[in-house]
Amino acid sequence: MGKSPDEMMAAILRNLPAKTGRDADAWAALIKAEGPAEPRACARWLKQTHGLGGATAQVLAAHALGGIHDLTPDQRLDKLYRGREALRPIGDRLTVLALGLGAEVTSMVLSTMVSFSARLKFAEAKLVGKGRLDLGLALGQGPLPPSAIPLIPVKTADASDRITYRIPLASVDDITEEVAAWLARAHARVATRD
């Protein structure tokens, strides 16, 4: 069985010395001395200035400054969808589909999205304004088979981001069998890796 989001965050903090050469308290001191005071801006700064991965940067920023990681999972979801309640059924349906792909699948509620992993991140449900949620998928860079739904390539400056395509969703009805199949395909790519 996969780790809960809180277990994953604790593991990130615990593994910092081996991964980065600094423990969580040393990172917190650096953040407070030199980094931005807002958690999202701080996470960006940690990624750009110190080369940390996205999840590590977000967890460290929250650890040092407080933020969404200090909340329970239910409180995180409430905060994520505050003012965008109409999008929550879309996110809830994607979560059910993703978690149904295997016992190893975990979800993590972050400040702007819900991330899905099976050892590696394979998808995310990301809020885009008040009227849309994008399903981001880790489908690699190679050519994809034809699709009846729009698979939009993701352009990102962050090479550590695994998400390569997105599918815009404005209602639960947009989550068709084909959307579910693309989600399963992204999961299969990470679930079969050694």
Per-residue pLDDT tens over the stretch 104-153: 999 888 778 899 999 889 999 999 877 899 999 999 887 888 888 889 88
Look at 143 and 19; give whichever has higher pLDDT.
19
Residue 40 pLDDT more than 60? yes
Q: How many CB atoms lie within 10 A of CB 32?
A: 12
Averaged pLDDT, 47-72: 81
- pLDDT of 132 reads 93
Of 58, 72, 50, nearest in space to 12 by CA: 58
Predicted structure pTM score: 0.67
CA distance 191 to 80: 27
Whose tokens are 């969808």? That residue is 81
Asked if residue 159 has pLDDT above 70, the reply is no
The widest CA-to-CA distance across the chain, in whole angstroms, is 51
The string of DSSP letters for 29-71 reads: HHHHHHS-SSHHHHHHHHHHHH---HHHHHHHHHHHH--GGGS
State the Cα–Cα distance between residues 47 and 7, nearest whole angstrom.
22
